[in-house]
Amino acid sequence: MTRLLAYTSPARGHLYPVLPILTELQRRGHDTALRTLASQVEHAGALRIDAGAISKRVEEIELDDYRGRSQATRGKRALSTFVTRAKHEAPDLSGAIERHRPDALLIDVNCWGAATAAEASGLPWATYSPYLLPLPSRNAPPFGLGLAPMSGAPGRARNRLLGRLTNPVVDRAVIPAMNELRAEHGLPMLETFSELLLRPPLVLALTAEGFEYPRGDWPANVRLVGPINWDPSHPTPQEASAWLEEMGNPLVLVTCSTERQRDERLVGVALQALPAAGMSVIATTAAHDPRAFEAPPGSRVVRFTSHEPILQRAACVVCHGGMGITQKALAAGVPVVVVPFGRDQLETARRVEFARAGVRLSPRRLTPARLARAVHTAIDRREGAKRVSGTYAAAGGAITAAAAIEALLSTPAAPSILRR
């Protein structure tokens, strides 16, 4: 029996997609262990995964990009968070390796310190990315600006120019600290941020072309496996069924991010706009207190609930553009209105628009009237959502991911730097 050890950042959106991969590996006869945020260890344990908490020093470092006033400032704060966590992740993963003695490792793409320790361990290792990979491509615009693809010579020229302006900003924010950590582990130095994604023998991208822009230059270590969805039951299915029976059609699911950001206005505007337009709303506030919102008759506001039964009925999803809920909706063939507030959400919103699977609405233009129009337009784009759903299904999800990890397990281990 072989054992895989997975390590995640302290974010539900980065834990939940990995759980079906681990359970699929269990089904194939492998043993699995996991280090993740303390509040979610019980969920993983219920799946018979040997789960424990990541270091408190990692979990206590808050992703506080929502405090930034501009997109650039928020981006720098996020990068600073991941760099600071990295210093504590590396010894945390090293200790977990000593305890579990795994045969291979699976590391969250945001855990740069854990990735450093994984590379130094000499074990076969992979990363997984629940969000769009920020890799340069001749077929796609520079990542982070939310630009639409542009073909031909003008597009290539635009992409080169903007890449020269934006990529060095990220490199300066990340690479010096990461090279210092890599030197401590005896690893070669890096020059660019994108090299971080070229180090693992395997990168599992949890999306598929059809949503992601088609590219002819994916690195050889990247495998697009489609989105992988998992949800704890909040509340019980019986309670959710009772709610849904009370809801009229069309039904709209409205969601906020599980990682705090300033997206609570989305719920307030939706409750003002959509019931008045004859729609029922179920809103999940996640990082925000649901008591701060007043739901009109026929609608409901909760912190969490299972999305699956709602998506079976929903005409549309209105969200912040997190990859989890966006891809979950599209996988169910439900069109999306994305109001991106930061992080990778500009990129997610643009891909929804590019796939004609919904509507992108700027938070600066978020008014009741505009949101109601956007929802009506998105509902008319259900065929686009169904097309994306088909590409997701074809990618294979957890089954494809597990098979790729099994292939990785068959590769010889490199010499261990950590154990010299």
Determine the pLDDT at residue 67.
76
If asked whether residues 164 and 253 sit together in one domain, one would say no
User: How many domains is the chain partitioned into structurally?
Assistant: 2
Determine the pLDDT at residue 259.
74
If asked whether residues 182 and 306 sit together in one domain, one would say no
Looking at the domain assignment, is residue 231 inside a domain?
Answer: no
If asked whether residues 301 and 378 sit together in one domain, one would say yes
**Domain with 364 in it: what CATH number?**
3.40.50.2000
Q: Which of 164, 220, 161, 207 is nearest to 322 (CA)?
A: 207
Give tens-digit pLDDT for 33-71: 999 999 999 999 999 999 999 999 999 998 877 776 677
Distance in angstroms (rounded) separating the CA atoms of residues 205 and 181: 25
If asked whether residues 128 and 48 sit together in one domain, one would say yes
Looking at the domain assignment, is residue 48 inside a domain?
Answer: yes
Looking at the domain assignment, is residue 290 inside a domain?
Answer: yes
- Res. 199: pLDDT tops 50: yes
CB contact at 8 A, 125 and 105: yes
Phi then psi for 128, rounded to 5 degrees? -130, 145
If asked whether residues 242 and 145 sit together in one domain, one would say no
If asked whether residues 369 and 380 sit together in one domain, one would say yes
Q: What is the mean pLDDT of residues 122-142?
A: 92
Looking at the domain assignment, is residue 329 inside a domain?
Answer: yes
pTM: 0.90
Confidence class for position 161, pLDDT limits 50, 70, 90: confident
Q: Which domain holds residue 359?
A: 237-394
Proportion of the chain above pLDDT 90, given as a percent: 66
If asked whether residues 162 and 35 sit together in one domain, one would say yes
Looking at the domain assignment, is residue 100 inside a domain?
Answer: yes
